[in-house]
A and B are shown apart, each in its own frame.
Chain A
Amino acid sequence: MVKVLSEMAAAGESPEILFWVGCAGSFDQRVQRITKAFADILNKTNTSFAILGSEEACTGDPARRAGNEFVFQMLAYQNIQTLNNYNIKKIVTTCPHCFNTIKNEYPVLGGSYEVIHHATLLQEMIKAGKIKMKEAGDFKGKKITYHDSCYLGRANGIYEAPREVLQALDADLVEMKSCRTKGLCCGAGGGQMFKEDEPGDKRINVARTEEAIATGASVVAAACPFCMIMWEDGVKQKGKEAEIELKDIAELINERMV
């Protein structure tokens, strides 16, 4: 059960936390599964939350980084108006790009909120015992590798939260050749997601997939919807769909929590 904020507000209620879904989380079929998994977790943990639904707009991140400040400012203005009108205090999002923009770039424009990425929220919930994992650990002995999102890691210094979340799976966490501060980009940021690559000898997501293959991991965990889309493509290019499972940390937790 996912409530839309406008309906909630009409009933005179307000949520503890707003779930900012983001464009990929709303529209991309693969990423919708992550969105649903995370909403599931919020429901199972009795978290009071709501989404904006059609009142949410893109944060403007890809336009700003591509160089179009006008489009960014228009969208930022629109979102900040909406959020301020609903008197939103706390926001959780599954997208590191939305996270970075709302947390770091909206305050100077008049939008200040407590913003938390779902990796951190999941980590807190596991620590607090709100999320309990099933006994039979079907991950025992399985190798998982975590892919650092640039906008969660380098841009906002969140490296450990997603890893701690994965620890809860009782799996064998292995690292790729480049990880944490040295994590290799998936290739989507800065508007690249929406255009063809510039000429080169390889796509970035393919280079990254090769690093994952080298670890022998059977699961690659991500915490960013755009990384997920790039990974899906990279793994397909390498013909490794059968060997490598791609999952967001929210999906992994949701599948195995009580």
Chain B
Amino acid sequence: MKIVEQLLFLVLSGAAIYLFARNIGKIRRNILLGQAEEFNDQPKLRWNNMLYFALGQKKMFSNPLVAVLHLIVYAGFIIINIEILEIIGDGILGTHRLLLPLLGSSLYTIFISAFELLAVLVLLGCLVFLLRRNVVRVNRFTKPELKGFPFKDANAILITEIVLMSLFLLMNAADLQLQSLENTTNGFNGIVSQLLTPLVSGCSISTIECIEKAAWWLHILGIFAFLNYLPYSKHLHILLAFPNAYYARLTPIGKMSNMPMIEREVKLMMQPELAADLPASDAPMKFGAKDATDLSWKSILDAYSCSECGRCTAACPANQTSKKLSPRKIMMDTRDRITEIGKNIDQHGPTYTDNKKLLGDYISVEELRACTTCNACVQECPLLISPLNIILELRRSLVMEDSNVPNEWAMMFGNMENNQAPWKFSNEDRGNWAKS
């Protein structure tokens, strides 16, 4: 019987890890469908960013209460997963509480009690988060782009965490009860689970054994399920926050990326010798981004890293005044679109096109036009994501590829070209204010 369980465990964990690795591999491939952009300068600063912003969640602390809860849920969840190592060890070796004889009763009691306390904190944190989403209904969680899957996704993860933590505590409580029924001498104690033993006190030894085993299996199966749900969920951010912080753009946030091809064109026209050092390219000129794959790979990584928290949208002046634009939606659309492109590749091969585009089929012109480039979204994002970057690349395509420009802008461009000012004034008069 034991060997069957061991085998089953091995097969299941192997399958879970294989599936997870395969999905992560696909996400990596999808990210690399984006355009090349180098982010290898200043490695020291990059490691620091990863430490402070990903691990330390520094930007979350503009709201300390939420930040502390989030850190507890996150850190608690990670640390409790150290206990998973024991669970996996037990699963493979067919042992029961492998670390107990190694650490000795008292040390093991401390070890387990610490985890149990964390588990309770995680549980409470998740409860508060559930309340904020479903009862208090914090404004940024009720925007239209969260309707449907994203809303359920967030709740599903929170509930799963609560269930996992409860199973962990129940498993320990059952174990304690067994110890007392069997008068074990070298047992352990758990600071929280000892309070829960009444839950199983009326049961026979065999029932309790069953409960203990079931809790153990459900706990580990839950973890495997969680692992394989991640790639489809906004909870991917718990992993991708790290590379995303490392590869964060280090340039001032007000600086737009240069377009060397256009710089070269203009210099060729005005003063050809200046264009000599600029790289020429035989590829057909393509301006800005129409589809997700036209974006920098970093923007696609941004999209996969987005936690859909909506801090960007809450800060967006356009969104605050009920314009259609929501920077969070820009990130969600980009992720949905690149996922779709990835699926197309899997199903129909790399040359297939579905005649859809990020610009138009996902993100509308009206949304793009509403942006004031104020950078509030970039400033607020705890994950160092830039929705603005995507907006600006799409705008470039809209204007330069499609000549899709509102009249007032067409006039502005004309004035700038002819009079060197966005208004229709003669540039000769530029210094007139100084004369009067």
Q: Give Cα distance in the complex from A4 to B397, angstroms.
A: 39
Q: How far is the CA of A204 from the CA of B323 in the complex (A)?
A: 10
In the assembly, what is the distance between CA of A71 and CA of B324, in Å?
28
How would residues 57 to 79 of chain A score, 1 for a CB under 8 Å from any chain B CB and 0 otherwise? Answer: 11010111111111101110110
The reply on B369 being an interface residue by CB < 8 A is yes
Q: Are A26 and B433 in contact (CB under 8 A)?
A: yes
Chain B residues numbered 262-280 whose CB sits less than 8 Å from any CB in chain A: 262-263, 265-267, 270-271, 274
**A63-B412, A104-B252 in contact; A201/B322 too (CB < 8 A)?**
yes
Q: Which of B253, B374, B398 contacts A189, CB < 8 Å? A: B374
B:237-275 near A, CB below 8 Å: 251-256, 258-259, 262-263, 265-267, 270-271, 274
- Min CB distance, B117 to chain A, in Å? 35
| Nearest A-chain residue to B427, judged by Cβ | A54
Cα distance, A81 to B427, chains bound together (Å): 17
- Between B325, B374, B406, B409, the greatest number of chain A beta carbons within 10 A of the residue's beta carbon is seen for B374
| Min CB gap B416→A, angstroms | 5
Check: B23 CB closer than 8 A to any chain A CB.
no
Residue of A51, A100, A150 near B431 (CB, 8 A) is A51
A195 at the interface (CB under 8 A from B): yes
Q: Do A184 and B379 form a contact, CB below 8 Å, given A35-B433, A197-B323?
A: no
Task: Establish whether residues A104 and B255, one from each chain, have CB atoms under 8 Å apart when the complex forms.
Answer: yes
Stretch of A105-113, A117-125, A135-143, A238-246 that contacts chain B: A105-113
Whether the pair B428, A154 counts as a contact (CB closer than 8 A) is no
- Chain B residues numbered 352-396 whose CB sits less than 8 Å from any CB in chain A: 366, 369-376, 378-380, 392, 395-396
Within 8 Å of chain B (Cβ to Cβ): is A32?
A: yes
Contact residues, A9-30 vs B (CB, 8 A): 21, 23, 25-27
User: Is A69 touching B287 in the complex (CB atoms < 8 A)?
Assistant: yes
- The answer to whether the Cβ of A181 comes within 8 Å of any Cβ in the partner chain is yes
Complex Cα gap A48–B366 (Å): 47
Q: Are A73 and B254 in contact (CB under 8 A)?
A: no
Measured in the bound complex, the distance between the Cα atoms of B137 and A83 in whole Å is 55
Interchain CB contact under 8 A, B395 and A182 = no
CB neighbours (8 Å) of B396 from chain A are 67, 69
Count of residues in B whose CB is under 8 Å from the partner chain: 68
The verdict on B320 contacting chain A, using a C-beta distance below 8 Å, is yes
Q: Does A155 contact B (CB under 8 A)?
A: yes
Asked if A163 is at the interface (CB within 8 A of a chain B CB), the reply is no
Interchain nearest-CB distance for A228 vs B (Å): 15
| A69 and B254 contacting across the interface, CB-CB below 8 Å | no
Contact with B along A175-210 (1 / 0, CB 8 A): 000000111110111111111111111111011100
A217 at the interface (CB under 8 A from B): no
A188 lies within 8 A of B263 (CB) = no
- Choose one: A53, A68, A70, A189; the contact of B372 (CB below 8 Å): A189
State in angstroms the CA–CA spacing of A198 and B396 once bound together.
18
- Nearest Cβ distance between residue B274 and chain A, in whole angstroms? 7
B142 to chain A, nearest CB (A): 16
Are A58 and B322 in contact (CB-based, < 8 A)?
A: no
What would 4 more interface pairs be, CB under 8 Å, given A51-B431, A57-B420, A181-B379? A54-B431, A66-B409, A77-B267, A184-B317
A-B CB contact pairs (8 Å), 21 listed: A26-B430, A27-B430, A66-B405, A67-B399, A68-B399, A68-B405, A69-B400, A71-B413, A73-B259, A73-B262, A73-B263, A73-B266, A75-B416, A100-B255, A110-B274, A154-B254, A184-B320, A188-B372, A198-B324, A201-B321, A204-B372
